[in-house]
Structure 1
Amino acid sequence: MRILKVFLLERDDEFNDEPVWNNGNVLFTTDLSDYENIFTKLGQNDEWIKLRAQYIKRRLYIYRDELLNRHGHGNIKPSYWAYGYATLQLYKDNVSPKEFNQYYQIHSNYCGVS
């Protein structure tokens, strides 16, 4: 189970939660069902619930530095993808209208927002 936790979270909770790969970014996937099935089949549902909560809390992608990338995104202006959504529509469907309106204002003329 530990190897799956490290794989999903890219951190080692036994060593002060230090990033071990990918700048500490979680594994990017919009479908965690395969991992949930593994934990459930092994009788580790409670562990899965804790791990999933950590995954969701940490799924904001960490960019390399404070500079914006060629798409105009960075740690100070993350994209919907950095929040863990494969499309802008999925982001819109899963956040509050207020949160999406803030994103819309900040990202006008980017990410298909116009």
Structure 2
Amino acid sequence: MSALTARQRQVLRLTAAGYTSTQTGHRLGIDARTVSRHLGEAYKTLGAHDRAHAVALAIHHGHITLAELAAIAQESTARDAEGPREPVDAPQGGREASRAARDGRGAAKPSQAPAGEPEGRAA
């Protein structure tokens, strides 16, 4: 088996930490498509079928060490303890509104009263 490049190892470590290609790209200062390309090359090198398989094989072959896994777990635990973050410039209620829509708790529907009749007297 050929060796992974330093960048492929870096991308796999962030993948193991649960980052998406977009998040990984932001952290590394590269485009998400470049992250996907690095992952694809790592898949070929490792003989992996998907992200989870690539991470498992990278651990198995020593490309991700136990010390790195411990650091990943510690960082992940710290991130989870911080809780979700709202973007500073997000519209008010943006995240809550999307959660409500996803959970089926959308905003109350306006009254369907026929034109000319007051609300609450709809047939």
Q: Quick check: TM above 0.5?
A: no
TM-score by length of 2: 0.31
Q: Name the one with the larger helix percent.
A: 2
In terms of Rg, which structure is larger? 2
TM-score by length of 1: 0.32
